[in-house]
Structure 1
Amino acid sequence: MEFASMQLSIREVSRLLKVSEKRVNEWIRRGILRADAINHQYQLHRSDLLELASSGEIDVRAEIFSSTKPDDGDAFLLVDALRAGGIFRRPGGTDKLAVLRDIVDTLTLPPRVDREAVVQLLLAREAMGSTAIGEGIAIPHVRRPILLSGCAASISLYLLERPVDFGAPDDKPVFAIFLIISPTARTHLLLLSRLSFALHDSELRKVLARRAPSADIVGEFQRIEDVIRHRARKDARQS
């Protein structure tokens, strides 16, 4: 299965998320997952699948990273994307809007990009439901990802001195915010899926919670990247 295939069947979603097809159908009925009826069969979009995976409530199969054909090679690696985006220590703010404005102001963006428009896109997504995934972590993003042609893929991490209320499912204020910028939709989806996988790791969460030095955080992502490669190779051999 190539990552370029954005449409997934219920059976494929069931296998990738390690849940029953009955559960997938239930998510569709409840509106948790959006699906299109094509030839009397449901088809789900990969971006919606990753939206659910990024909630932190479900596991993500490493197989989702295998058999991919990236357009820009190592730019798909989590560690490279994190180094490109940077790790920032920020004071935080009194509310979500103030924090998002501060984050967007620090991004390295081409002059043509309207920063206020980016803020409004992020706020519109938050109005649909919080992007906080629990344990003090949020991944603000939009269903139409922030795509900047000609720019390297990046993940920026913001560690807040004063956590802010993001309406998280566990009611915990957010202290760690990840923001993804990508040159293509495919890159965005792959980075989001890998980041979602990484944030299930308890050791990484501990490092983030103590606002560890940047080198330690990058080291944890490198360890997880190695796990992704190992599991993907194992899945490929078993298929």
Structure 2
Amino acid sequence: MNLKIADITEILNVSEKTIYRWIKSGKIPAYKINGQYRFSEEEINRWISENKMVNRKKEIEDEEPINLPDLLGKGGFYEVEGDDVKEVIENMVGIIKLPVNLKKDKLIEELIKREEMISTGIGNGIAVPHPQEKVIEEIEDERVFVCFLKKPIDYNALDGKKIHTLFLILSARKERHIELLAKISFLSRNKEFLDMLELQSKEKIIEFIRLKKVEWDEIMERRKKI
């Protein structure tokens, strides 16, 4: 039993929180000795080998499903000042509440890096900034922030329109990010929703998305039965 929690986090490149969750659920072989968890190197190597064969689809199905209204509740609504993309990103990250282990400087760097590649302006006055590289590991740290710009700015959006609202996405998995982006893109084409954004009606925005979530969930249930 020569491996400790710190060794496992380094070997598997996951957080301690994830390791403890796996131990609690019995997913990973561990032993509690004198109040501390220890691992057998041989068992861990075998566990890694076996888990390489796990079907990724099954892992995704076991994860907590995307709940956009809840993620908006964790992120919140803000008003942001700024005259250009860089200034808006810096001001936005300066005021939003981030997960404990995520540094503001790191997030700013990744967001700007993403915008330098290609604009996240998706049209109709909306942009969906997100980090170039993954900055969170845990699904419980995921959140979506809605930031109303005090002054619309040129964001190099595809349709050439100035951006008035940002949906900042923090997601733990590529698949989950894609799903969130698809949902926000869908909403951005709905005139009723766009009107709510223009009015910055937070309660109506949340309620509208909750209703849409019911529709999305019903569609997913029908697809499962096909």
TM range (shorter): 0.5 to 0.7
Distance 1:99 1:235 in 2: 40
Cα offset for 1:71? 1.5
Cα offset for 1:192? 2.6
Residues 130 and 166 in structure 1, CA contact (< 8 A), matched pair in contact too? yes
Greater than 4 Å deviation, 4+ residue runs: none
Cα offset for 1:188? 2.9
* Structure 2 equivalent of residue 39 of structure 1: none
Which amino acid in the other structure matches residue 89 of structure 1? Answer: E
Matched, 1:234 2:222: yes
| Per-residue deviation, residues 8-41 of structure 1 (Å, max 9, x unmatched) | xxxxxxxxxxxxxxxxxxxxxxxxxxxxxxxxxx
Matched, 1:223 2:211: yes
* Structure 2 equivalent of residue 203 of structure 1: 192
2:73 to 58, 79, 83: 83
TM-score in terms of structure 1 length: 0.63
Distance 1:234 1:122 in 2: 37
Residues 130 and 170 in structure 2, CA contact (< 8 A), matched pair in contact too? no
1:97 to 72, 86, 91: 86
Cα offset for 1:182? 2.6
Residues 157 and 178 in structure 1, CA contact (< 8 A), matched pair in contact too? yes
Which amino acid in the other structure matches residue 202 of structure 1? Answer: K
- Radius of gyration: which is bigger? 2
Which ranges of structure 2 fall in alignment gaps of 5 or more residues? 1-59
Q: Looking at both structures, which has the greater relative contact order when contacts are Cα pairs under 8 Å and sequence separation is at least 6?
A: 1
Residues 93 and 162 in structure 1, CA contact (< 8 A), matched pair in contact too? yes
Matched, 1:170 2:145: no
Which amino acid in the other structure matches residue 145 of structure 2? Answer: S
| Per-residue deviation, residues 164-183 of structure 1 (Å, max 9, x unmatched) | 11011222111100111234
Distance 1:200 1:70 in 2: 31
- Report the identity percentage: 25
Distance 1:147 1:233 in 2: 29
Matched, 1:141 2:130: yes
TM-score in terms of structure 2 length: 0.66
Distance 1:70 1:195 in 2: 23
Cα offset for 1:114? 3.0
1:208–1:107 CA distance, 2 compared to 1 (3 A): same
